[in-house]
Structure 1
């Protein structure tokens, strides 16, 4: 089974393994590196990690990775001429050095954190990377756990937290999730369709006006937006934007497009100019080939700058990849230090190998 497993059953020629990473069909660029990095952090210097993969490229890539980070591949064998391949990797002694990465205008790891409040949604968008819909399992984030997350994040020097879903206003304790993050910059992503009345209107009006609302609006008129999100959704989103602004919230607009039609983008910008949405409060992003999307930009650990993301049941490399098992960092959101540690260790390998330039897939 893909993941970190008991080493019982590994070939005896590998030696005495402490743990085993079974990568299945994953290669180093497709999630195996995250699994190895996570497992290595739990070993003591000199202890052995077993690695198994059916990908032939690992025969070349794994020794290169080990050399870059100072570990030793002490044994290697194949089950047959075509693999799978097995490795025993000895953990190097900790040098105590910390690598600092220059990321230009990108957000340094440790300053920004994403949190999925829930996965149920009033919409079922064709391109939803999270596979959210009215039928999706809610998987709601516990406000008590969120408070622990924020406290650790702030203590580590964290600055900004972004809450998304699903539709966050379907979480009955959304107010508590946001209140627990006081002292951090807070952005809440919403489709702005369901907070106009009742209990959700009360939640909206009670929110701190320092919270930025990022609303999804895919086009200047209803045609594209409704085709992607459902009939009538554009009109309700526009009404929600007007309501939020009338209540004193700063509103940011995010458009998601399969094809970045220049005229369509220009039309959207003209509309946002007319209603007074500042240029810095606009995000135009492509569809990622994740979740429900069958086409779009292919994303991987090699092409995405990390944006550590927490859900009720784990941690992930980036918010567009929370349905991709290859980009899972941890099986629980805490401890946060472990999540950021795996990300930084993985980046160290990537940056030491080559600076080929990851793409920044901006969600906010």
Structure 2
């Protein structure tokens, strides 16, 4: 799979016109997919634009990726839309398509057995500034990062809407959420939902942040990053002295009555190191179900790790102050962007559900549509 360096756009008609001209014919909207294939972001762009068309509306799609000439007709067949025109600028592309929207789109999501149902869980980036600059941070957070803080009023609207459409879990992440000056109000806005705050636990011991911690409802879970049983690996990845401060934060949170979940992020899963970590967590009385060991994703600051795409990354809709994304590890990847604003949440969830429905329908039909290589 390739990622695109092109500027990916949805083109609307100019004022006074009701269509956008293309070599394949006039359309109401045009998606320019650059050299993205369907598995690396084009599917999201198409799905997002299709939701804004009425029945019988025409979407134009331009692509320089040869696999789209096979995958796009597969997609249209799965969803029920019609490709009513196509044009090749040359034998090597780019290619233009005009797709007519059907009255009803594919909506059945086939269960994979382990996936969290779309619409049950929502992630929110409270902010992007952080007291650490971890070498694999997927969000490129650091002390020098722009704060990009999520407004409390926007959070209230998002959580209210999310709950109304059946949402259950909210994960508040960052950056370091305890650097958000209104974290308490942000967490309170999600009252009635299962709430988890992700933190490095290093700045909880005193001052205003200690006050915020103590004021949080004890139904809130704290998920703390701890990468190793001893300081060596954790400090190498996150910064000198971070392990001992994280350990102190874990002990403080537990002593105050919070449920503490531990998440370790590893480039390579060393069996001995993992066993040692579990022993350390045993000594801290962290329950087995509250231990998460995850690989580094090649996103953000990480120049190595697992390459992620729509094809191998289960959707976990994620809001930031300036948009919505397929998954929290992909908020620096423009190809994983769902929307340009965090609201309305129903639109964000709808785009993800439509995309997942097509992926699952393709799998159920035994088709190799939206391949990633």
Q: TM-score range by the shorter chain?
A: over 0.9
Once the two structures are superposed, what CA deviation does each residue of 1:337-359 show, in whole Å capped at 9, x if it has no partner?
111110111011111111599xx
TM-score by length of structure 2 reads 0.93
Measure the CA separation in 2 of the matches of 1:183 and 1:85: 49
* Conservation of the 8 A alpha-carbon contact between 2:318 and 2:327: yes
Measure the CA separation in 2 of the matches of 1:103 and 1:128: 29
Report the CA distance between 1:103 and its aligned residue: 3.3
- Judging changes above 3 Å, is the alpha-carbon distance between structure 1 residues 75 and 181 closer, same or farther for their aligned structure 2 residues? same
Q: In the alignment, which of 68, 79, 83 is matched to residue 93 of structure 2?
A: 83
Residue 16 of structure 2 corresponds to residue 6 of structure 1: no
Residue 348 of structure 2 corresponds to residue 339 of structure 1: yes
* Conservation of the 8 A alpha-carbon contact between 2:136 and 2:296: yes
Report the CA distance between 1:100 and its aligned residue: 3.9
Q: State the SS of the aligned residue for 1:76.
A: strand
Once the two structures are superposed, what CA deviation does each residue of 1:32-77 show, in whole Å capped at 9, x if it has no partner?
0000000000101111101011101111111110111011111111
Residue 336 of structure 2 corresponds to residue 327 of structure 1: yes
Report the CA distance between 1:12 and its aligned residue: 4.5
Residue 287 of structure 2 corresponds to residue 278 of structure 1: yes
Partner of 1:312: 321
Q: In the alignment, which of 243, 263, 280 is matched to residue 272 of structure 2?
A: 263
Q: Give the 4+ runs in structure 1 shifted more than 4 A.
A: 7-13
Partner of 1:18: 28
Q: State the SS of the aligned residue for 1:354.
A: helix
Matches within 5 A, 1:195-206: 195-206=204-215
* Conservation of the 8 A alpha-carbon contact between 1:7 and 1:50: no
Q: In the alignment, which of 232, 235, 241 is matched to residue 232 of structure 1?
A: 241
Instruction: Structure 1: give runs of 5+ residues left out of the alignment.
Output: 358-364
Q: In the alignment, which of 82, 93, 105 is matched to residue 103 of structure 2?
A: 93
- Judging changes above 3 Å, is the alpha-carbon distance between structure 1 residues 7 and 75 closer, same or farther for their aligned structure 2 residues? farther
Measure the CA separation in 2 of the matches of 1:247 and 1:65: 52
Report the CA distance between 1:10 and its aligned residue: 6.1
* Conservation of the 8 A alpha-carbon contact between 2:62 and 2:95: yes
Report the CA distance between 1:263 and its aligned residue: 0.2
- Judging changes above 3 Å, is the alpha-carbon distance between structure 1 residues 302 and 7 closer, same or farther for their aligned structure 2 residues? farther
Instruction: Structure 2: give runs of 5+ residues left out of the alignment.
Output: 1-6, 367-373
* Conservation of the 8 A alpha-carbon contact between 2:35 and 2:65: yes
Once the two structures are superposed, what CA deviation does each residue of 1:8-34 show, in whole Å capped at 9, x if it has no partner?
696554222101101111110110000
Matches within 5 A, 1:30-179: 30-94=40-104, 98-179=107-188
Residue 358 of structure 2 corresponds to residue 349 of structure 1: yes
Residue 298 of structure 2 corresponds to residue 289 of structure 1: yes
Residue 199 of structure 2 corresponds to residue 190 of structure 1: yes
* Conservation of the 8 A alpha-carbon contact between 1:13 and 1:75: no
Partner of 1:360: none
Q: State the SS of the aligned residue for 2:186.
A: helix
